[in-house]
Amino acid sequence: NGKLDRKALPAPADDAYARRSYEAPRGAVETALAQIWAELLGVERVGRHDHFFELGGHSLLAVQLMERLRQLSLGVEVRTLFARPVLADLAASLGSHHEVAVPANLITEQSTAITPQMLPLIELAQPEIDRIVATVPGGVGNIQDIYGLSPLQDGILFHHLLATKGDPYLLVSQMAFADRGLLERYLGAVQQVVDRHDTLRTAFVWEGLSSPAQVVWRRAPLEVSEVELDACDGSGADELRRRFDPLRHRIDVGRAPLLQFVIAREPGSTRWLLLELQHHLIGDHTTLEVMHAEVRAVLEGRGHELPAPQPFRNLVAQARLDVDAKAHEQFFRTMLADIDEPTTPFGLSEVYGDGGGVGEAHRMLPQALNDRLREQARRLGVSLASLCHLAWGQVVARSSGREQVVFGTVLFGRMQAGAGADRTMGLFINTLPVRLDLDGTGVAASVRTTHARLSELLAHEHASLALAQRCSGVAAPAPLFGALLNYRHNTPAAMAGSGTADGLSGMEWLGDEERTNYPLTLSVEDYGEALGLTAQVAEPVSADRVCGYMQHALEQLTEALEHAPNTPVRELAILPAAERAYLLEELNRTAAAYPSERCIHELFEQQVQKAPEAVA
C-alpha cells in the first residue's frame, strides 16, 4: 500500500547515529580527549565532530571523564560537557576550570590541643571545640579532623533529629555465611576498610554548637551485637529484619562508626546471619559499591592493591569554599519565583519522619522499551536521564493537576567534588528541585529543554535545598514538592539481589533496603543494558500503579519521539490501557432494570407506601 512498516525494520547499528562524516582530531588536546572518550565509551574511533551522548555517554561516565581530565590539568566545569558535548567544542574549553584549593588539615597525631585556627572548614569558638573533644573516646588524640556538614547532610541530620521513633535514613543490608569463621573474616575485612576511610570513622555533634560538626575519629572499632533467634518464628533473616526495623530502630550518630552489625546463628542450621545498618549521613549508593569492592579485595588478599583513599573533606571544601550564593539564588529565583503552590501528586503532602506507612514496588521495563529509549536519547544527543525526567514530570503533572510542576531530583554530587571523587566514600549526592512545564511544547523540544535544565542544575549541585525553597513563591513551612526522582546507575551484580556474593564461597547476599522521607519516590535503575523502576509511595496510593504510570509515560514518550516529535507534551497519557478501561468503562456500567413505564412521582409514591417512616 506504499506505507513504511517501521516495526519490520532492523534495529539501527551504532554508526546509524553518525550524522556527520568522520574527521580526525586536531592537535594534542583533541587527540587526548578522543583517546579518553574511546576508552570510556568502548568505541574504536572518535572523531572531532562526535557527540558524547550520541556515543552512549551518561553522568557516571561524565564523572570518570572529569577525573581523567583533572589528572591531565585539563579541568572543565561539568555543565560545559553537557552544553558543548561535541569533541572539538569541548576540547576548546578544556583547562578553563580551576578547583578550589583545599586547605590543609592542621590536626596531627602529635596535637595536644585543638584551636579555632586549626579548623579552616568550620567556624567554632574554643568552648564549642572543647565540647566536641569531650564526646570523643580518647579526646584530642583520637581526633583526626573536624569540619562542617554538606548541604544534604544538614537536611538528613535535621530529619534524623525530627524523628522521635525510627530513622528514615538507615540503610539495611543482610548476608548469610556458611560458618562463624567466614563471618569473622568478613567483619575483619570491613574493619580494615573502615580504618582506611575517614567518612566511615565520622561522628556528628550538634548539641551546644552554633552549627553541627562532623568529627573524624582516628580509631573507630565496629559495633557488633550477637542475638538469639526463635526457631518457631519463621525465617531467621526475616526475624532479624523485624527486630531491627528502621521504622522503630535508631543508631547513635554521635558515635563512630555510623555502622552497626547484628549477627545471629540461623535456627536449625550451621549458617550465620548478618544484618548491617548504615546511616545515610556517611554514604550514598556509590559509597556502598566502593565499600563492597574494597571488602572483597581484602578478602581475596588484594588489599595492598587498593589506591590511597581520598578524604571526604575535599567535598566539604568544594561545597563550603566554592560557594557563590548570589549565583545559586539567581538561578533558583529564575526557575521558581512564579511557583506559589506546592506540587503534591495524588494529594500526598505529608513528609514522613520515620519512613512509615510507605509501600514499595519494583519492576523491570521490557527490553524493547529500554532499547528504544536509548536509541532516542542517542538520536537527540541527550542523556537517557533527561527522557526519564520528562516522563516523570508528566506523571507528576497528571497526578497533581498542574502543568508547571516541581519535583526533587537526586544529583550525583561527584561531578565537581575534586580529585578522586569517582572513588571516594561519603555522602556526595544532593537533592534539589527541578521545574518542568508540561504544556503545548512538542515532545522533542521538551526533551532538549529538560536536558538543558538539568545541565544548568549541575553548576549548583552543592546548593542548599533550603535556599532553593526560599527562592520560590511557596511560603514555609509548606514543602515545595512532594515527589522525588532518583536516576542512578547500578552494577549488574546489584540487579541480581541474591546469590553468592562476589564469587566468594560460603557468602550469600540476602538483599538490602533504603528509604527516604518523601511521600512519593521513584528510582530509575540503569543497569547499562536494562532499566528498572522502584517506587516508594505513602499509603493509600499503590506503588505498583505508580510504576505502571511511569512505564506508560515512557512508552508514550518513545512512540511520540519516533513518529510524531511535535506532539504537545501535555498530551502524553500515563494511564495504562487496563486502568483506563476500568475507569472509563467498568465504573460507568450503571445500567440496571427499573420500571421505566412509571413517572418519577409514581416511583416516589410507591416507595412511601413501602416504607413511610424511612428518612427521605
- Identify whether residues 69 and 188 lie together within a single domain: no
For the segment 225-240, the average pLDDT, to the nearest whole number, is 80
pLDDT (tens digit, 9 = 90+) per residue, 125-177? 999 999 999 999 999 999 999 999 988 888 888 888 887 788 878 888 899 99
Q: Are residues 439 and 412 in the same domain?
A: yes
Within 10 A of 217 (CB to CB), how many other CB atoms are there? 22
Is residue 298's pLDDT more than 70? yes
Among 143, 152, 538, 218, CA closest to 352: 538
Residues 549 and 430 in one domain: yes
322-350 average pLDDT score: 88
Residue 239 phi, psi (nearest 5) = -65, -40
Contact call for residues 179 and 272 (beta carbons, < 8 A):
yes
Q: How far is CA 260 from CA 176, 213, 215, 613, in A?
A: 16, 21, 18, 68
Q: What angle do CA 158, 159, 160 make, to 5 degrees?
A: 90
Tell me which of 34, 59, 93 is where a domain ends. 93
Residue 520 within a domain: yes
CA 497 – CA 534 distance, rounded (Å) = 14
Higher pLDDT, 325 or 534: 534
- C-alpha grid cell, residue 293: 569492592
**Portion of the chain with pLDDT greater than 70, in percent:** 89
Residue 342 pLDDT exceeds 60: yes
For residues 329 and 324, give the distance between their C-alpha atoms in angstroms, rounded to a whole number.
9
Q: What is the CATH number of the domain that holds 422?
A: 3.30.559.30
What are the pLDDT digits (tens) for 479-531? 899 999 999 887 654 333 334 444 468 888 887 777 677 899 999 999 888 99
The number of folded domains in the chain is 3
370 and 302 in a common domain: no
Please check whether residues 277 and 389 belong to one and the same domain.
no
Statement to judge: residues 477 and 575 lie in one domain: yes
Strand partners, 205: 213
The CA–CA distances, whole Å, from 132 to 125, 207, 210, 313 equal 11, 9, 12, 18
8 Å CB contact between 407 and 484: yes
Between the alpha carbon of residue 174 and those of residues 199, 277, 290, 513, the distances in Å are 22, 9, 17, 9
Asked if 48 contacts 25 with a C-beta cutoff of 8 angstroms, the reply is: yes
Above 90 in pLDDT, residue 193?
yes
Residues 309, 179: one domain? yes
CATH number at residue 52: 1.10.1200.10
> Which pLDDT belongs to residue 16?
44
**pTM of the entire structure?**
0.75
- Least Cα distance to 294 among 502, 513, 71 occurs for 502
Above 60 in pLDDT, residue 434? yes
396 and 284 in one domain?
A: no
Residue 105 is predicted with a pLDDT of 92
Both 174 and 236 in a single domain? Answer: yes
CA-closest candidate to residue 190, choices 325, 303, 270, 273? 303
Pick the closest to residue 474 from 348, 332, 324 (CA basis).
332
Residue 58 pLDDT greater than 80, yes or no: no
From edge to edge, which strands make up the β-sheet containing 499-500?
223-226, 259-265, 272-279, 170-177, 507-513, 499-500
Closest CA to 361 of 210, 573, 207, 546: 546
For residue 82, is it within any domain? yes
In sequence order, what are the beta bridge partners of 174? Answer: 275, 511
Reported as a pLDDT band with limits 50, 70 and 90, residue 335 is very high
* 250-275 tens-digit pLDDT: 889 999 999 999 999 998 888 999 99
Which CATH number goes with the domain that contains 162?
3.30.559.10
What is the domain extent for residue 463?
A: 328-349+357-492+514-583
- Does the residue 506 lie in any domain? no
Displacement of CA 19 from its chain's centroid (Å): 34
Examine the domain organization and report whether 189 and 229 are in the same domain.
yes
CA dist., res. 258 & res. 251, Å (int): 7
Taking the alpha carbons of 104, 105, 110, 115 in that order, is the dihedral positive or negative? positive
Contact between 343 and 483 (Cβ < 8 Å): yes
Helix locations, 197-350, DSSP H: 236-243, 285-299, 313-321, 325-336
The pLDDT value given to residue 18 = 43
